[in-house]
Structure 1
Amino acid sequence: MSKVSEDLLIYFVAHCQSVLKLKYSTIKLYLAGVRFHGVNFDNVNPLCDKFGHTYQRLQNVLNGVKKSESKPLRQKLPITFKILQEIVTCLQCGFFNHDYMDLTFQTACVLAFYGFLRCNEFTCRTVFDPDSNLCVSDINFVSECEVTVNLKATKTDIFRQGIIISLFKIEGVICPYKLLSQLMSVKIKPKRKAE
């Protein structure tokens, strides 16, 4: 039987973390040293009970130490209407110094906001695939105040049948109808040949 009890090991781990401010990896190294000493001199693994099972409470304390030092996840805040207005206003002032690029990003931001879209639902991960990615032909101006966007695949569409999102004309700078209309008129214009 080991002279080192589970309680003593737990106190040791707690002391290392709270008083000595040691990291999880260092505490594990110290425990490896305790184990090495116990096996070499007492012929017993002090980190296990008499049946050879790891002490569960000690393991739980170690897991707590590990979790307490992990970096907190960066909180992702939602885009509010005010933030969206600021983004669009910034892009309208020529953020990219390229009118088409600025208009494309404005439209993408507004489309994502009003359509409750995830990024991968209207962007390409790698190579453009017309069977799964958003195309110009997926945008349909139904009336003077409504436009529909056909998404071929979404996370919530289990059977991958696609869904149609209706967007409407509203007042202000972040109108999805106006921005899609502007983008389509720029996209559809034929390029002039240099004379």
Structure 2
Amino acid sequence: MHNLQDPISNSWNIKHLLTGVKRELGTNQSCKAPVTPELLLSMKKVLDMSNHNNIVFWAACLTGFFGFLRPNNFLVKGTFNPEFNLRRIDVLPCSWGMLVRLKVIKTLQFRSKPIEVVLPHLYNHPLCPVAAMSKVLALVGEPLDPLFRLSDTSCLTYTVFLNAFRFTLQLMKLDHLSYGGHSFRRGAATWGSKVGLSDDDIKIVRLLVK
């Protein structure tokens, strides 16, 4: 370069052309392993479900999986904000299970309308998200309190959730670094394909709660 100035640093056209190419072709990424129903069942076996924090953590796991959600869709990032984050009042019973009203997601940043995600009722199944959420709502709390609130009244943040997830995997003697917060959404899409959802159906769900 002979210490010369970058000739394209001030070129608007070239900079945005390169941005578009990168967006189209993507970049090499280390994809995290998907969460599977089998993994969730094994996780439940090592969790003490009489513990307040485990009840909250488990419900968050099933919300992420059955809702095809990223953790930042339903967990607190930083401090709790009732305008953005889920409260107990944002979960309502419906004919299929429980309705979760998401106020802000990646593709819905200006609260023009909420996105409603249904957690299905899997009767008498150990992975029933409705049963898990019902236990959370049965914990002491007010309607306007954060939905996923820990025993010390702090919120279940993304960082705390990821640490708890990886700690649980360590207890199971699994490679915890192979999994991340996105593993639930990735695993849900893979599982959906296995049980008969079409690629178009999966894409629609993923786009709605992107």
**Structure 2: gaps of 5 or more residues:** 5-27, 143-210
Name which one, 1 or 2, has greater alpha-carbon Rg: 1
Matched with 2:52 is 100
Percent same amino acid at aligned positions?
Answer: 28
Q: Residue 129 of structure 1: CA displacement?
A: 0.4
Matched with 2:133 is 180
Counterpart check, 1:155 vs 2:106: yes
Counterpart check, 1:79 vs 2:79: no
The match for 2:61 among 84, 109, 115 is 109
Matched with 1:118 is 70
Q: Deviations over 1:84-134 (max 9, x none)?
A: 22222222x36xxx7110100100000100001111111111110000001
TM-score where L is the length of structure 2: 0.49
Contact kept in structure 2, 1:112 and 1:118, CA below 8 Å: yes
Q: Deviations over 1:30-78 (max 9, x none)?
A: xxxxxxxxxxxxxxxxx87xxx9xxxxxxxxxxxxxxxxxxx8543111
- One-letter identity of the residue aligned with 1:183: V
3-state SS in 1 of match to 2:66: helix
Distance 1:165 1:178 in 2: 16
Distance 2:109 2:75 in 1: 19
Q: Deviations over 1:121-165 (max 9, x none)?
A: 11111110000001001000124x521000111113365322011
Structure 1 residues 146 and 130: CA distance shift in structure 2, 3 A: same
**Structure 1: gaps of 5 or more residues:** 1-46, 53-71, 190-195
Q: CA RMSD in A?
A: 2.7
Distance 2:117 2:40 in 1: 19
Higher relative contact order (CA 8 A, sep 6+): 2
- Segments of 4+ moved more than 3 angstroms: 72-75
3-state SS in 1 of match to 2:139: helix
- One-letter identity of the residue aligned with 1:129: N
Structure 1 residues 126 and 158: CA distance shift in structure 2, 3 A: closer
- One-letter identity of the residue aligned with 1:179: A
Distance 1:130 1:106 in 2: 22
How do residues 2-17 of structure 1 correspond to structure 2 at under 5 angstroms? none
- One-letter identity of the residue aligned with 1:174: L
Distance 1:108 1:177 in 2: 11
Distance 2:80 2:121 in 1: 29
